[in-house]
Amino acid sequence: MKQLLTQGIVLSRTNYGEADRIVTLLTPEHGKLRLMARGVRKIKSKLAGGIELFSVSDVTYIRGKGEIGTLVSTRLDKHYGTIIQDIDRVQLGYELIKQVNKATEDQPEAAYFSLLEQSFQVLDDPAIDPGLIRLWFEAQLLRLSGHAPNLHSDIAGRKLDQQATYTFDFDDVAFAINPNGTFTAGHIKALRLMFSSHEPHVIGQVHGIAAILPDIAPLVRAMLTSYIRL
């Protein structure tokens, strides 16, 4: 059978039998792969080192007749080891992996792989606040799934006013002007940064951003629940 080579990020690992494990990998070219890693739980297994969490690995595999293929070989390409030195970052990393797994079908676009790899990179940097990473990641997940909010005009099509206050309309995925609204121009500016292509280390340098994050985080999480069912 033809052997195929790709890069993969481990999304889940399930023990099977006495020594095997079924591994779900996210890849840039082939979407999600479910592969049987035979004997991987044995002490001398050559496969184990290449399917670590918080890593990117080169994997060789064979397609199966059903949903599960066979993992032939692995080689660790990048391991973000600083993450596992901080329990809060480990827990956040687990959560981000689970969210990508739940939010994607079997053939997700390559951008999901890039997002998860980029998330490992910033989680590996102790200088970047985990709260900022979480919010940025959730905003990017919404953007990739096609649920980015309208951050330029309100539900009536009018340009957002610097002086006005707003509420968020989940049906229109946009803001509605409201004298008693809790969202201001500052909040909307922060949301634009989160949904943009800027990376967390750049966003974190914006003056005053840390004070605004607690105000916009509940909105982004509510959008995840409403639109992606996470």
Q: Strand 68-79 and strand 31-37: pairing?
A: parallel
For residue 182, pLDDT over 90 is answered with yes
| pLDDT, average across residues 151-170 | 97
- Report d(CA 183, CA 166) in Å as an integer: 5
- Report d(CA 89, CA 187) in Å as an integer: 26
Is 119:133 a contact under the CB 8 Å cutoff? yes
Identify the bridge partners of residue 76 per DSSP, sorted by sequence position: 57
pLDDT value at residue 9: 98
pLDDT value at residue 95: 97
Q: Is the dihedral of CA 151, 230, 79, 85 positive or negative?
A: positive
| pLDDT, average across residues 88-108 | 95
For residue 52, pLDDT over 80 is answered with yes
| pLDDT, average across residues 10-20 | 93
| pLDDT, average across residues 175-195 | 97
- Report d(CA 198, CA 100) in Å as an integer: 20
- Report d(CA 63, CA 61) in Å as an integer: 7
Q: pLDDT tens across 65-91, in order?
A: 888 999 999 999 999 999 999 999 999
Alpha-carbon distances, residue 91 vs 2, 48, 51, 87, 95 (angstroms): 38, 22, 18, 6, 6
User: What is the chain's mean pLDDT, rounded?
Assistant: 95
Give the confidence band of 104 by pLDDT, cuts at 50, 70, 90.
Answer: very high
pLDDT value at residue 35: 96
| pLDDT, average across residues 50-64 | 94
Residue-wise burial string across 8-33, b where 16 or more C-beta atoms lie within 10 A, e elsewhere: bbbbbbeebeeebbbbbbbbbebbbb
- Report d(CA 66, CA 179) in Å as an integer: 58
For residue 230, pLDDT over 80 is answered with no
For residue 184, pLDDT over 80 is answered with yes
CB atoms within 10 A of CB 164: 17
Q: pLDDT tens across 115-140, in order?
A: 999 999 999 999 999 999 999 999 99
Give the confidence band of 14 by pLDDT, cuts at 50, 70, 90.
Answer: very high
- Report d(CA 113, CA 9) in Å as an integer: 8
DSSP at 47: S
